[in-house]
Chains A and B, each alone.
Chain A
């Protein structure tokens, strides 16, 4: 009953048309159509009510009704509500008032929409290109429907646009896209005075594979395979997000068995990521003992994944409608996990007693709380700065609503807090896994998905090891996907990384970068 006032206020103030209001498997969802002139007003109303932006998709609806449209999706955790706004835009010169001045976390989303659709957000503070590299010709917008997915795009001469940093003794240090270590590609431009970083800018989207375009007009089961391959280290999380979007669009409720198995998969994924990261963050300070121990524990977890689900990255398990197979060797894995928990505890105790580690990590790469809130940081990085937000608790999905767990939060927002956050979250994950293993009910693994109603939208989300992975889909005719939009945790967190680096020294950048442990593939798609 709580949700009424917000919806009523929205209706009164903006004259919106409620397209759909009802429940989806993950909670309450409402879809409203808002005229362009009321777009900003409704967004600020929602923002004042404590909502945050989950994702924002644009769609080329010209083949359907001759318009472009934008769909920002807000989550209102206080009301347990997800509100999707739909605003139609003029097809000849698509433009709308930019959301960024009101909701700063939309800034990369809007730049992406501008690149991929040629839709101009008017009043955007930074209208530079984001996704498309300088060698893309102008007026090529890959996600428009008149752009064929297989087109070969010509290269044109172009220069990367970096904000100039000038002054005596300022050096520019270009790094990447191919890095020295075994990490993904991205180009970083440091402006440094001596060892102190004055400014850091990044050119990302090197691994842009065009996944969203490739998914269009494919069967929804085919797209599920693509969702798993958006990112290796969040395969399960992406697959569950996508599956939930399809299920809520089809109005299907999955079985309890499937929900619990999904929880186990998601938590195993969180564990191997967090344990790996706890070790790997020590690679930023050259603490070999912790690096090796972390790597051993991670390898053990990966092998448990293999035995549980037949895949080290848990691929091929989650399908729209449930899960494909049951889990194997559960009792053995359960006892091995208990052993691993105490191993991890021993390793972290040793790590935290090292003065060298504290010296390097404390007060390094601070992300202030306000910046994290404004820019919409998610996941452990945001919680390490004091943002008390976790989709597993705030808008429960799968079986999380029935499980008991805490959401740990730190305060300082430095590298050390991000390390502690992961250690704390591992403890909670072990607890969740214990409960899920005990309660895992027997029963049907999957339900069949009926034909999808065409041109409907839906959103699915999970809290992955890095934060919220939000998948937004719009169905097309004959069970195909008309538009697929992935906003990964890395998409939310990449914009905040360059904020944390100035004021630190260049050798601290790898450490800060590792403490966020962002994925390039998730962002670039």
Chain B
């Protein structure tokens, strides 16, 4: 017991907010520089494993951030966005207070999330798990995960929606009291990812339930997922 108290006293506050997120930037969304892009070249488009590149634009919902296109581009014309965020306008410092304010106003002080794995690889699930760790501490904004869809305001769905989980997802959605916000997390949930066309997968969440916000990334970082949750609350 003494050791625990000593350990607790020694640990400084590790919790971060949007103003001091210690996350280093990862791979961004490929960004094609049209001026440097060689004419009549479609190598990036042909080599993209998910078909995310059409007409020299990258669809963030399909991209799995593998950066194959950047390696094959003969003109070195493909860069990347700073951080693959969906909402460019919001500045990090405002996110925390904004989220808290919105949740206070719209959700009567707290937002309850039910998480559904609809056939993910575990990566997105681990990142959603990280949201509740002392560093990201999602609860500080009044957001929490609940065990039952009956108590949920929002569904956080990961995965490609496999054939074996279609019904489970549908039932969970129907068990939520309306209006239910749906946030699709990760490349598989947003657009089906690599396994979109398989016999066993349903090609993304929006083919099954209405999606309010997409959080692209493979997997998206915890900070991006928090941004996604904020964006969804904004839509209420």
Is B163 within 8 A of A306, CB to CB? no
Specify which of A152, A313, A347 is in contact with B123 (CB 8 Å cutoff).
A313
Asked whether A316 and B67 contact (CB < 8 A) given A296-B133, A310-B27, the answer is yes
Q: A151-B199, A209-B201, A225-B64 are in contact. Are A185 and B148 (CB under 8 A)?
A: no
Please give, as numbers and ranges, the residues of chain B lying within 8 Å of A233 by CB-CB distance. Answer: 122-123, 126
- Assess the B126–A350 pair: CB atoms within 8 A: no
Write the chain A residue with the least CB distance to B135: A299
A178 at the interface (CB under 8 A from B): yes
| Partner pick for A149 among B127, B133, B159, B199, CB 8 A cutoff | B199
Which residues in B have their C-beta under 8 angstroms from that of A231? 121-123
Let me know if A229 and B194 touch, CB within 8 A.
yes
Interchain CA distance A427-B177 in the complex, whole Å: 48
Q: Which of A148, A232, A233, A521: most chain B Cβ within 10 A?
A: A232
In this assembly, does A471 line the interface, its C-beta being within 8 Å of a C-beta of chain B? no
Contact A299 B197 (CB under 8 A): no
Is A130's beta carbon under 8 Å from chain B? no
Q: Which residues of B contact A222 (CB under 8 A)?
A: 49
Which residues of chain B come closer than 8 Å to A316, judged between CB atoms? 27, 65-67
Contact partner of A232 (CB less than 8 A), chosen from B119, B124, B200, is: B124
Digitize A280-308: 1 where CB-to-B-CB distance is under 8 Å, 0 elsewhere: 00000000010011011011001100110
- Contact: A232 with B121, CB < 8 Å? yes
A306 vs B119: C-alpha distance when bound (angstroms): 25
B7:A346 contact, CB within 8 angstroms: yes
- Residue tally, chain B, CB below 8 Å to A: 61
- B49 contacts which chain A residues (CB < 8 A)? 222, 225
B187 to chain A, nearest CB (A): 9
CB distance A206 to B133 under 8 Å? Answer: no
B22 lies within 8 A of chain A by Cβ: yes
A314 → chain B closest CB, angstroms: 11
Q: Do B165 and A207 have beta carbons less than 8 Å apart?
A: yes
Q: Are A206 and B24 in contact (CB under 8 A)?
A: no
CA distance A478 to B195 in the complex (A): 22
The stretch that binds B, out of A210-218, A241-249, A334-342, A454-462, is A210-218
Residue B23 lies at the interface, judged by CB distance under 8 Å to chain A: yes
Q: Contact mask B147-170 → A, CB, 8 Å, 1/0?
A: 111000000000110111100100
Does A142 belong to the interface (CB within 8 Å)?
A: yes
Decide: A206 near B198, CB < 8 A? Known: A182-B128, A296-B14. Answer: no
- CB of B59 closer than 8 Å to a CB of A: no
Please measure, in the bound complex, the distance between the C-alpha atom of A313 and the C-alpha atom of B219, giving whole angstroms: 8
Contact B193 A232 (CB under 8 A): no
Nearest residue (CB) in B for A153 is B199
Is there a chain A Cβ closer than 8 Å to B231's Cβ?
A: no
Count of chain A residues near B, Cβ 8 A: 62
- The interface residues of chain B lying within 8 Å CB-to-CB of A235 are 123
* B162 close to A209 (CB less than 8 A): yes
A229 touches B218 (CB 8 A): yes
Question: For the complex, would chain B's binding face be called helix, strand, loop or mixed by DSSP majority?
Answer: loop
Query: Is B165 touching A185 in the complex (CB atoms < 8 A)?
Result: yes
Residues of B within 8 A of A148 (CB): 199
Residues of A within 8 A of B7 (CB): 289, 293, 346-347, 350
Judged by a CB distance under 8 angstroms, whether A312 is at the interface is: yes
Closest chain A CB from B199 CB (angstroms) = 5
Selected from B68, B145, B159, B194, the residue in CB contact (under 8 A) with A214 is B194
**Distance of A310 Cα from B11 Cα, bound (Å):** 28
Cα distance, A140 to B234, chains bound together (Å): 46
B134 on the interface (CB 8 Å rule)?
Answer: yes
Residues of B within 8 A of A298 (CB): 130, 133
How far does the alpha carbon of A517 sit from the alpha carbon of B23 in the complex, in Å? 26
Measured CA separation A207–B122 after assembly (Å): 10
Query: Which residues on the A side are within 8 Å of B147 (C-beta)?
Result: 180-181
Partner of A206, one of B8, B135, B145, B162: B162
- The reply to whether B117 and A185 form a contact with Cβ atoms under 8 Å apart is yes
Contact partners of B130 in chain A: CB under 8 A? 295, 298-299, 302
Which chain B residues (1-37) contact chain A, with CB distance < 8 Å? 3-4, 7-8, 11, 14, 22-24, 26-27
Query: Which B residues are in CB contact (< 8 Å) with A349?
Result: 3
Q: Which residue of A lies closest to B67 (CB)?
A: A316
Q: How far is the CA of A232 from the CA of B219 in the complex (A)?
A: 8
Chain B residues near A210: list those with CB within 8 A: 195, 198-201
A177 touches B168 (CB 8 A): yes
Flag if B119 contacts A209 (CB, 8 Å): yes
Contact present for A213 and B199 (CB under 8 Å): yes
The minimal Cβ–Cβ distance linking A293 to chain B, given in whole angstroms, is: 7
Report whether B168 and A206 are in contact in the complex, using a CB–CB cutoff of 8 Å: yes
Q: What are 13 of the A-B contact pairs (CB < 8 Å)?
A: A149-B198, A149-B199, A180-B147, A183-B125, A185-B165, A210-B199, A229-B195, A232-B121, A235-B123, A306-B24, A307-B24, A313-B123, A313-B126
Beyond contacts A149-B198, A226-B194: 7 other A-B pairs, Cβ-Cβ < 8 A, are A151-B199, A181-B145, A207-B120, A210-B198, A225-B49, A232-B123, A232-B124
